[in-house]
Amino acid sequence: MSAPPSGDVRFAARRRNVLLRRWRRTLAIVVGVVILGALAWLVWFSSFLAVRTVAVDGETTLKASQILAVADVRTGEPLARVDTVAIEARVASMGRIEGATVSRSWPHTIRITVLERKPIAYATIDGEIRGVDRFGIDFRSYSSPPKDLLEVRVNVFDARKRQQTLAAVAAVVNLIDTKDRDLRSQVQHISASSRDSIVLTLTKGRTVTWGSGGNLTRKLTVLKSLLGINARVYDVSAPDQPTTRK
């Protein structure tokens, strides 16, 4: 029978095993770092995952080429390094754009999705016929009054106050458009000299003193009842105390 290994031999064997495990662990870490570094280079710096295509969705009155010109996305740039926030800001600065979303579509595409403003009324501003959206933003021009849009007459010269007034009037127009199409057919135009002095001019020589842009739903409900009364002036500016006048 052979003699059992001496203590020195066993200690040396254990030491070799410990060193081998450490070496394997170190090798695994090094390999992992190399792989992560290669992946980072591949994604962030190489042309392997670079921008090759820019897609535009959601455009209606604008052309995709117009949006792409403003977006200014550089092809050949690594997709991961594209500043999507900056692209969104550039596209959103376009007058007809209400909002924009920019996303990455791997492996090679930047996708720009836009929501264009839609006119709900028009106003003559500085001698120009302008379409007004639901937020009161005048964003496009017309050569003649659009027949399918309601006219808004805002007699305010200060730019900031005019915008506030347009926003208040647009809220009323949007409410009538979406909640009461019968009333919409009776409105000839809406006028205002401030955001708190909105007046609806109806058919048959009737007018509605609407007042401010507050309590919209309540005012509309009260007005529906008032219109059953034969009058020339309906006042819902204080909807809890409405009045009529012949």
Q: What are phi and psi of 66, to 5 degrees?
A: -65, -40
Indicate which CATH number applies to the domain containing 145: 3.40.50.11690
Residues 213 and 141 in one domain: yes
| Number of compact structural domains in the chain | 3
Q: Do residues 239 and 125 share a domain?
A: yes
Indicate whether 193 and 224 sit together in one domain.
yes
For the cut 70, the answer to whether the pLDDT of residue 39 exceeds it is no
CATH code at position 65: 3.10.20.310
The last residue of a domain, from among 45, 64, 79: 45
Show the domain range for 129: 121-245
Using the structure block, give the residue that is written with the tokens 């996303």: 103
Segment 115-141 shows an average pLDDT of 96
- Over residues 192-231, the pLDDT tens digits come to 999 999 999 999 999 999 999 899 999 999 999 999 999 9
50-93 pLDDT, tens digit per residue, is 999 999 999 999 999 999 999 999 999 999 999 999 999 999 99
What is the pLDDT, as a whole number, of residue 43? Answer: 56
* Cβ(73)–Cβ(54) below 8 Å: yes
Its pTM stands at 0.77
Phi, psi at 76, each rounded to 5°? 95, -15
Predicted local distance difference test score (pLDDT) of residue 57: 97
Same structural domain, 96 and 139 = no
